[in-house]
Amino acid sequence: MEAEGRSTSPRMIGPFPMTSNFLKVDPRWRKKLTPEHRVILKACREDFATFLNYWHVRDENGQDRVLGESLWEAQLGFIDTLKEHPYTYHLKARRLGASTLICAYDAWVARFGPVGARVHIFSRVEADSRELLYGRDGASNIVYGLKHLPEWMQLPMRVRANDIVLEAGQDDHRVIVAYASDGDVSAGTFCTLAHIDELARMEAAERLWQAV
């Protein structure tokens, strides 16, 4: 089971507060930003499904594809659920694309969510949460997708041991952090979105949920 939860606000994109910084891009491409690019950026800010048309994934065989071009009916239904509900619990089997979709959602919140957005990813062990962030055995996840966004959609990114930072401005640092499932690991730390992977298998699930 995976679970996600997020804060709410009167001014929303889907379930998230609107950000005025959605037109921020890497300074190298700022002067090349066309009116069409601006329209697409606004559309991506307002709709997660639109963002998926620019989100690349790579499978374990090294094949790259655009996630939005190959969504299943169940994935489309899950996208609608994410838009409508502040807390989502997803009972899933393996290899159905749920984790891939949720990781794209993590990236969307970091890129287009509120100023200073923080996304926390929790798994039973740190290696599993890092896999969601960085990928493993040739398969991709969040870092790969962010690096393969169109250049005019990217933000400057710093990749560190357990997190990545997107620089949207001097006072707008967006962070995605990988955690292990220690029950008190993020207590006292605000997050815009919490992605809890395999919650049902965690020994300290209740403590972790309270800490989040």
Residue 72 has what pLDDT? Answer: 86
pLDDT for the residue numbered 111: 94
Give the whole-angstrom CA distance, residue 212 versus residue 67: 29
Q: What is the mean pLDDT for each group of 10 consecutive residues in the chain (212 residues)?
A: 44 53 78 90 92 90 90 87 80 71 93 91 74 69 93 92 90 88 60 77 60 60
Q: Which pLDDT does position 16 carry in this prediction?
A: 60
Q: Could you identify the residue written with the tokens 């790579």?
A: 58
- Structure-token pair, residue 181: 């499932």
Q: According to the model, what pLDDT value does residue 195 have?
A: 84
* Global pTM exceeds 0.85: no
pLDDT score, position 29:
77
> What is the per-residue pLDDT for 204?
61
Strands (E), the chain: 2-6, 12-13, 16-17, 56-58, 64-66, 87-90, 118-122, 157-159, 163-169, 172-179, 193-196
Q: How far apart are CA 184 and CA 169, in angstroms?
A: 31
Quick one: pLDDT at residue 86? 75
Confidence at residue 110, expressed as pLDDT on a 0 to 100 scale: 94
Q: What is d(CA 15, CA 72) in angstroms, rounded to the nearest whole number?
A: 22
Pairing of strands 16-17, 12-13: antiparallel
Confidence (pLDDT) at 13: 47
pLDDT at 122: 83
